[in-house]
Chain A
Amino acid sequence: MMLAWMCVIGVAEAGGGPWVLGPGDQTIYVGMDVQRLTQLGIQAGPDPADYTTIDVGEGLSSFGVKAIANYGLLSRVELELEVPWYRVSANRVDVEPCLALGEGSCKTTQSIGLLRGQAKWLVLDELQGMPLSVSLGGTMRYGGFTAPARSRITNVGEGTTDLGPSIHLGRTGGLGKGGYWSAYTELYWLYRFPSTDSYQGSDLGPDAPVSAPMPEWVLNGEALFSPDASVAFGPSFSGLYRNGLDWYELNLEDPDRLAALGVYNMRVGGKLVIRNERGVAFSTGFLRTVVSYNNPSDAWLVSAGLSVPTGLGRP
């Protein structure tokens, strides 16, 4: 379940949207994020009225550091590589979800998270006959490092390898007086090579075995306003949807119990970027869960990091 608050694509630290670096251009982002939650919404029974929010004692928190490198490969084609490391811990382990999921399910986990590589190809430039810039992407995630702890509520991933396309739409314009705005939204679909295709739910679950996890949709967006090029701020959002079983249908003895969960959530927040003349940018942002299903209902994420242009493509 933590997948939905931990490892989601999004929180565009290194930039998001359709825009790509010029060939040979490089940037590196190094940042950290902290997340905290105290409540889980779960579908505890078959009736919609059985949806309840349970307390996670004094909460779960995570701390992560990550590095993201971006590289302009060709004209209009950019590569991105992300390497995160996470530490997730429960402030109390003697609370309901930890107890329900069994001993060790709330043990502190620290591990390399999901390695992510992405290629993005700018297919339409808003200045060339289109009102929008559009790029198409392909993402691959590798979760091998997260597999051993995937059954924990404190996992940092579900141990799968994921692959899928994405589309990124964006538009930017002047604000006058040297200011600009930019806005984008992007949609990812990820096929998640299932850890198991014979996950058998509880006696309240489906009769036939299912595969877990199911594919995942991610929708992100951000709008930034920049009175001049040195500062930008604005709202952002990030949503996730995955089909799967309800909490009450889970067979809790299977290590893929959390991967089998069907979840969705929507988090909204804001972002602030401050850039110096050399292009070094400090960015910070937060996201807060506003809608969730079988997922943390009050998660906060705060991130901060530095982006540095490390290479300029030369002719």
Chain B
Amino acid sequence: MLLEVGERVAGRFVVDHLVAEGGLSEVYQVRHIELGSVHALKLLRADHPGITKRLLMEGRIQAQLTHPNIAPVTDVVRHKDRVGLLMPLILGKSMAELLERRVQIPVAESLELMAGVLCGVSAAHGAGVLHRDIKPGNVLLLVEGEAMRPLVTDFGIAKVAESMGNATRVGSAMGTPGYSAPEQVLDAADVDVRADIFSLGVVLYRMLTGRMPYVSPDGSVRIGSVVSEPYTPLGVADATLPDALCETVDKALARSAQDRFADVHEMAKALLKERPKLLARVLAPSGIGPISFELPTLDPVPDGPESGAPGVTLMPEAAEQPAPTPNLAFAPAPTEPESPAPLPAAEEKSPLIWLGAAAAVLLLGGGLWWWQGEDPVTEPLAENTPEEQLVIDQAAALKPISPPSPEEPPAEPVEEEVLLGAPSELGEPVVVGPGPSGVESSGIKPAGEKPVEAVPEGPDQEVPEEPSAETVASDGPDVVEPEEGEDVVAVVDPAEAPGSITEAPPVPEEPEQPPSWSGPDVSGAWSGTAGGRPATMLLKMTPEGQVSGELVFILGATRRSFPVRGSVDQQGRMKLSSGSDLSLSAQASEASINGSYEQGRSKDQSIRLGR
């Protein structure tokens, strides 16, 4: 909790209690100290400048979209470095809570609630604002008598036509799993009103069936489900629903935006064909004048006890203004071709040379290939396959014909009354709360009563890939043969000065050694450092001090061996060579060999070996 109960906020409010927690915010009931009025305060949990900026934008949008079906924001409140939005307290809580208590909502009641939501969203669209996060949690329900008025809220990731194109970020503009349209999930910046239409469709589907339209096989709904999972047509989810309603919802939920309704009015016309009164309300001008979303250049005066009380309008009336000119750039171009799902791209040709190299390694490293073995490429946004469409069509065709819905009276003039679903008008009165008749509303249908027939097959997206490795005949680098046996040098005179090595016949001369050897025994394995690199040496020795063996340098992963021959004298002076490639002179004892060597063009390299 960011605020304590009883805490003073901005000098003029006192906290009553926490109402709800949202994604980035906490919503409190606060009371105006001087006026005694009760309000909701949405306070940001983070004090990050970017999020603050976005909340202020949200506030600006909601404050200026004065409409009976949009939750008003009346003030900005600053408290201890945090920013909050002040709103009228909506006592009915959100549609999400309603759906928790009542799994399914009867058709008539769903349409009435939906009509209110459509009114609000249509007004926002008319003002050039895309909501982008329509879901039950963002529809507040104001209890008015025995009815509920929906108020759309949380314009936190709304997009104002073209002006906020740079504002995409992961996890927010993507919207909410299951409710965001496929194209929004894929690219939140590139959406139009049809993304909101999709979300409206999901909300309605959810109300009518208690289920989500796009569900993963394991029953979960993920952000990508709308992209990849098969759609369960509404008529399949509940065969008792009227055909026309099913068609409308199915159309709103089309995976491809161009198959949906072009705008909210079109959707309302299809949905509320039989409810002309409700329809007339949705189609009525919203009365919202031009609004400005530019952020102020002046810093607002910080809140304090001296600040005056803000004018809090609890229920703004719909102003009688001419409809604003619709933002044409904002409406989707009906003919605009949807970019089709990319077919599995033909892989770019790989340079053969590297496949050849791969094959060379394959001969040796072999068994790691299973890693590449399976590599299915799935494609997003697959349209329904013809087979699927057939299933969908059949499902729609087989649906039993539902009894005709009660006739609506002919269209009446638009009523100014904001309340949607007044008891007189409703088939079943909607009652919220745990009151005696509240929970057992006659229209409750527990979820799962009717089996949902999911479309059996998902889009067959698995495209087997060409085997990526073509085996090419090995043409690996030549292996250099060690020059064993050639140019073998024996150093004869132990007294000879170091470095002056002379070529000698292959058969070494007998060294002049006393018969009883009293010098160090250097035979055996040595290891240590030569030229700064690891080195090892294995030596054999005759009783006369003749030495032969192999000196190995470790060069990176490889090693280089030099067959060596030479001698050691009674004082431990050792000389070894390997043809003209290497010569070494060192002081040897039983435990160590220290000296220097030349190898190729490397002169005066140090060597230190031990047992």
Which residues of A are in contact with B by a Cβ distance under 8 Å?
Answer: 12-16, 18-25, 27-32, 34, 36, 42, 44-47, 61, 63, 65-67, 70, 72, 75, 85, 87, 89-96, 98-100, 102-104, 107-108, 110-112, 122, 125-128, 133, 170, 172-182, 200, 202-205, 207, 226, 228-229, 232, 247-253, 273, 275, 277-284, 302, 304-315
Given contacts A75-B601, A306-B476, contact A248 B171 (CB under 8 A): yes
- Contact status A174-B528, CB under 8 Å: yes
Q: Which among B110-118, B239-247, B320-328, B552-560 touches the partner chain?
A: B552-560
| 1/0 contact string of B574-611 vs chain A (CB within 8 Å) | 00000011000000000000000001111101111111
Whether B611 contacts A174 by the Cβ 8 Å rule is yes
CA distance A310 to B556 in the complex (A): 13
In the bound complex, do residue A63 and residue B372 qualify as a contact, i.e. CB atoms below 8 Å apart? yes
CB of A280 within 8 A of CB of B532, answer: no
- Answer yes or no: B531 CB below 8 A from chain A CBs: yes
Chain A residue at smallest Cβ distance from B596: A127
Q: Do A99 and B186 form a contact, CB below 8 Å, given A46-B46, A87-B350, A174-B527?
A: yes
Can you name 4 extra interface pairs (CB under 8 A) apart from A15-B558, A205-B50, A305-B365?
Answer: A72-B602, A249-B50, A275-B558, A312-B581
A313 x B476 contact (CB < 8 A): no
CA distance A200 to B167 in the complex (A): 10
Q: Do B170 and A250 touch across chains, with their CB atoms under 8 A apart?
A: yes
* CB<8 Å pairs between A and B, sample of 5: A45-B24, A182-B533, A226-B536, A304-B368, A307-B556
> Is B451 located at the chain interface by the 8 A CB criterion?
no
Q: Are B558 and A228 interface neighbours, CB within 8 A?
A: no
Q: Kindly state whether residue B377 has any CB partner on chain A within 8 Å.
A: yes
Is B347's beta carbon under 8 Å from chain A?
Answer: yes
Contact yes or no, B525 A228, CB < 8 A: yes
Pair A30/B376 contact, Cβ less than 8 Å: no
Q: Which residue of B lies closest to A36 (CB)?
A: B371
Which residues of the partner chain B approach A27 to less than 8 Å between Cβ atoms? 555-558
Known: A15-B556, A102-B186. A85 touches B350 (CB 8 A): yes
Q: How far is the CB of B243 from chain A (nearest CB, A)?
A: 31
CB nearest neighbor in B for A46? B48
- Bound: A277/B459 CA distance, A: 57
How many B residues touch the partner, as a band?
35 or more
A22 surroundings in chain B (CB, below 8 A)? 531, 599-602
Across the two chains, which residue of chain B brings its CB closest to A280?
B479
Asked if residues B581 and A306 are in contact (CB atoms below 8 Å), the reply is no
Interface residues as binary, B358-377 with A (CB distance below 8 Å gives 1, 0 otherwise): 10111011001001101111
On whether the beta carbons of A247 and B606 are closer than 8 Å, the reply is no
Please determine whether B558 and A279 come into contact, CB atoms closer than 8 angstroms: yes
Cα-based distance from A203 to B163 in the complex (angstroms): 12
Residue among B49, B351, B601 having the largest count of chain A Cβ atoms under 10 Å: B601
A18 to B526, CA, bound (A): 22
A130 to B, closest residue via Cβ: B532
B189 in contact with A178 (CB, 8 Å) = no
Cα A313 to Cα B365 in complex, Å, equals 29
Contact (Cβ within 8 A) B354 A65: yes
Q: Which residue of A lies closest to B180 (CB)?
A: A99
Structural contact, B535 and A180, CB atoms closer than 8 A: yes
Closest to A84 in B: B354
Q: Are A178 and B479 in contact (CB under 8 A)?
A: no
Q: Let me know if A178 and B527 touch, CB within 8 A.
A: yes
- CB contact under 8 A between A32 and B365, given known A65-B358, A253-B189, A307-B558: yes
Shortest distance from the beta carbon of B133 to any chain A beta carbon, whole Å: 15
Whether the pair A203, B53 counts as a contact (CB closer than 8 A) is yes
Of residues 148 through 191 on chain B, the ones whose CB sits less than 8 Å from some CB of chain A are 164-171, 174, 185-187, 189
* Cβ A30 vs Cβ B360 within 8 A: yes
A-contacting residues, B527-567, CB 8 Å: 527-529, 531-538, 552, 554-561
Pick the interface stretch among B69-77, B97-105, B221-229: B221-229
Chain B residues in 8 Å Cβ range of A229: 536, 552, 554, 559
Q: Which of A87, A103, A202, A306 contacts B361 (CB 8 A)?
A: A306
A93 touches B557 (CB 8 A): no
Cβ of B379 within 8 Å of any chain A Cβ, yes or no, is yes
Q: Which residues of B contact A87 (CB under 8 A)?
A: 350, 468
Give the distance in Å from the alpha carbon of A42 to the alpha carbon of B171 in the complex.
11
Bound: A122/B606 CA distance, A: 13
Tell me, rounded to whole Å, the shortest Cβ–Cβ distance linking B487 to chain A: 11
Q: Is the CB of B481 within 8 A of A307?
A: no
Residues of A within 8 A of B609 (CB): 174
Contact of B558 among A24, A94, A125, A308 (CB under 8 A): A308
Residues from chain B with a CB closer than 8 A to the CB of A284 are 365
Chain A: CB-nearest residue to B353: A85
A44-B170, A178-B527 as given contacts; A61 in contact with B534, CB under 8 Å = no
- A282 to B361 alpha-carbon distance, docked (Å): 10
Flag whether B384 is at the interface (Cβ < 8 A). Answer: no
Give Cα A132 to B479, complex, Å: 33
Quote the shortest CB–CB distance from A17 to chain B (angstroms). Answer: 9
The residue of chain A having its C-beta at the shortest distance from the C-beta of B54 within the complex is A203
What's the least CB distance linking A12 to chain B, in Å?
A: 8
A180:B528 contact, CB within 8 angstroms = yes
A35 CB, nearest partner CB in chain B, Å:
9
Cβ of B378 within 8 Å of any chain A Cβ, yes or no, is yes
The answer on a CB contact under 8 Å between A103 and B342 is yes
A127 touches B168 (CB 8 A): no
| Per-residue A-contact encoding for B38-50, CB less than 8 Å = 1, 0 else | 0000000110111
Q: Which one of B166, B524, B529 contacts A253 once the chains associate, using CB atoms below 8 Å?
A: B166
CB distance from A220 to the nearest CB of B (A): 14
Q: For A170, list chain B residues within 8 Å (CB).
A: 532
